[in-house]
Amino acid sequence: MVPAESAAANELLAVRAAELYYEENKTQDEIGAILRVTRWKVGRLLAQARERGIIRIEIVHPRARRLALERDLSARFGLKDAVVVPAPADDVELQARVSEAAADYLVSHRPVPRLLGVSWGRTLHQVAEALPSGWSTAVNVVQINGGVSLSKRPGTAAATAVMIAQKAGGQATLLPSPAILERLETKKAIEGDRTVGGVLGMARGASAYLYSAGVADTSSVHVDSGYLTAPDIARLVERGAVGDVIGRYITADGTIADPELDARTLGLGLEELRNSTTSILVIGGEPKHAVARAIVTHGLCSVLVTDEHTARALLDDTDSDHDLEPATTASREDAS
């Protein structure tokens, strides 16, 4: 064998074969005739070309997904399921795609939840909007954390839950309480209230949860809503907070950043999320990578809906090898 030369010759042959096969739709037999090799060799050349990444197959569609990343995420973090959408350049677009994907997931998720616990926020609202009317039948919805009653945009939290329920022909049960109370006593009192307590109880019994997460910075809805001030956030960040999950600020370790604040936060606890069968996290965009990592690495969600970049960021964690070694016989471009 003449290593260098014949290898190069083979590569060129592989390119020609690939062109004829994929661009001209010729059969391997025909290609064999053209290139003067047997059809088996053509098959092998094509296999090589795919392995070496000479042939690039891409699925271009806004609704496309990244199944390999989904598989890797599920495996690495022990998720029940993952949905990864290709990241568009534009961040607005990205949020829209992730929300759509979450809506798609919800529509096709089985078993259909009898009662769905939802949080609120910009992302969740988009998910609600992306759901088609009649996406399911008789799915009731319950809010799992305090609403945004002080908000400049009143009713958003309520509107999200109601929209999701309406579109499934179900009832929405709202949590009539602020997200964070100023005094612990007030929080306890409200919690003890029949209505609020009843809703919380109902929320604990939901068969699935759908939520997003916020970043620990002043762009947070909590600041917008007046529950927290910029200095509050600064203090949280100092204590290592990376973001909030259903109103509760957590650190990269997955622990509560400020127990005192957390005690004044009304709604489902993190443990309920962790222990639920189905808790769907919808999250996308660069700023949220840190929160997403905290949530995912600490088992707070069982289903992750996100974008490609976030997925890669999660997988590119430093501590372990992030060798992509798919379980399938699929393309092996990284061999080069």
The residues binding a second copy (CB under 8 A) are: 11-12, 15-16, 18-20, 22-26, 49, 53-61, 63-65, 67-68, 104, 328-331
Q: Which is nearer to a second copy, 320 or 329 (CB)?
A: 329
Choose from DNA, a second copy, none: what does 47 bind? Cβ within 5-8 Å by kind.
DNA
What are the φ/ψ torsions at residue 123 (nearest 5 degrees)?
-65, -50
Which residue matches tokens 């259903």?
246
Whole-number minimum distance, CB 335 to DNA, in Å? 14
Tell me the C-alpha distance between 191 and 269, whole Å. 13
Which option in DNA, a second copy, none does residue 297 bind, with CB closer than 5 to 8 A by kind?
Answer: none
Say how many residues make up the chain.
Answer: 336
Question: Which does residue 29 touch among a second copy, DNA, none (CB within 5 to 8 A, set by kind)?
Answer: DNA
Interaction partner, residue 65 (DNA, a second copy, none; CB < 5-8 Å by kind): a second copy
The C-alpha atoms of residue 14 and residue 8 are separated, in whole angstroms, by: 10
In the set 17, 28, 283, 295, which binds DNA (CB under 7 A)? 28
Q: Considering the complex, what minimum distance in angstroms separates the CB of residue 169 from DNA?
A: 22
Q: Which are the contacts of 319, defined by CB distance < 8 A and separation ≥ 6?
A: none
Q: Please, which residues have CB within 8 angstroms of residue 114's CB and are 6 or more apart in sequence?
A: 139, 140, 207
- Contact indicator for 142, 115 with CB cutoff of 8 Å: yes
- Select from a second copy, DNA, none the partner in contact with residue 330, using the beta carbon and a kind-dependent cut-off of 5 to 8 Å: a second copy
Q: Does 40 bind DNA (CB under 7 A)?
A: yes
Among DNA, a second copy, none, the one that 44 touches (CB under a kind-dependent 5 to 8 A) is: DNA
- Residues binding DNA: what is the number (CB under 7 A)? 16
Closest CB to a second copy among 27 and 219? 27
Record the tokens describing residue 40, joined without a space.
């088996």
User: For residues 308 and 166, what is the distance between their CA atoms, to the nearest angstrom?
Assistant: 31
Tell me the C-alpha distance between 141 and 168, whole Å: 9
Amino acid at 236: L
The binder of DNA chosen from 8, 12, 24, 47 (CB under 7 A)? 47
CB closer to a second copy, 54 vs 196: 54
Asked if residue 133 lies in contact with residue 98, where contact means CB atoms within 8 angstroms, the answer is no
Closer of 49 and 161 to a second copy (Cβ): 49
CB of 103 to DNA, least distance (A): 23
**Alpha-carbon gap, residue 175 to 267, rounded angstroms:** 8
Q: Decide whether 76 or 332 has the Cβ nearer to DNA.
A: 332
39 is an interface residue for DNA by CB under 7 A: yes
Q: Does 237 bind DNA (CB under 7 A)?
A: no
Which residue's structure tokens are 């690039």? Answer: 56
By CB under 7 A, is residue 52 in contact with DNA? no
Give 27 or 275: the residue with its C-beta nearer to a second copy: 27
CA distance linking residue 49 with residue 62, whole number of Å: 27
Query: Hey, which residues does 304 pair with through a beta bridge?
Result: 82, 281
- Is residue 287 reached through a cis peptide bond, with omega within 30 degrees of 0 on the bond before it? no
Q: Which residues bind DNA (CB under 7 A)?
A: 1-2, 21, 27-29, 37-41, 43-44, 46-47, 329
